[in-house]
Structure 1
């Protein structure tokens, strides 16, 4: 096992991606702090700031519902205290349109709880 996969915070984040991919939104938001700040790019449907697990769950449900078939391929690494995830999604939208995208999500995890997530539509935008 490599060192990054042994990191409990990275494992926690990647487990949330797996839950999202299978449509288990409750499991996906389980590690979120009650006041989590979840920031999606403005150009995304329902993008913007979502605060708290219930708001994030609503956003993720709507996002997952747009896909009839979804393949999720997250790759995580540490950047200082943050966990950076290069997330590639591919599949078919509910209207039958094939779609794929790659985004970068930056997580702040404190004491085993996600306190912030900031997503970037363009990986080149990540500071």
Structure 2
């Protein structure tokens, strides 16, 4: 089962790269718990969302907040119910043009062949610093 779950996650990343959010939502349970660990008051895309509508809100917040210029999942591991992915990303904050990059870990939990939970773990302090930076600074931040 773990290889099948890895394939589902890889397909989700491919759909994300094409902007096909409905394809991702299709493999989530109705009661999915979905989000980036962190405080929404620090960065709008942080926080845990409930249900498919909440997951869709997460993706809307992400798109409104930043342009992702590189998204690179690289290391996959799994057990019977979880898929763990390590990777990195580069981005530009939409509100001020500040660019940055960071490493991340994603954890997907499966139930009956669908994703019932997703947690993104990354340096939200770095994201918050970039998000709240003075637009005149236009500096780059990185891991």
Rounded to whole Å, the distance in 2 between the matches of 1:90 and 1:36 is 27
**Does residue 31 of the first structure (1) align with residue 27 of the second (2)?**
yes
Rounded to whole Å, the distance in 2 between the matches of 1:69 and 1:81 is 29
TM-score (norm 2): 0.69
Does the 8 Å CA contact 1:85/1:106 hold for their aligned counterparts? yes
Give 2:131's aligned residue. none
TM-score (norm 1): 0.77
Give 1:58's aligned residue. 57
Name which one, 1 or 2, has greater alpha-carbon Rg: 2
Q: Do the aligned partners of residues 21 and 99 (structure 1) sit closer, same or farther apart at CA in structure 2, a change above 3 Å counting?
A: farther
Superposition deviation, residue 79 in structure 1:
4.5
Does the 8 Å CA contact 2:32/2:115 hold for their aligned counterparts? yes
Give 1:16's aligned residue. 12
Does the 8 Å CA contact 2:45/2:65 hold for their aligned counterparts? no
Note the alpha carbon deviations across 1:65-115, whole angstroms, 9 max, x for none.
333452211132115631001131114333433221221111111222001
Unaligned runs of 5+ in 1: 123-127
Give 1:47's aligned residue. 46
Rounded to whole Å, the distance in 2 between the matches of 1:118 and 1:36 is 11
> Structure 1 segments of 4 or more deviating over 6 A?
none
Aligned residues: 117
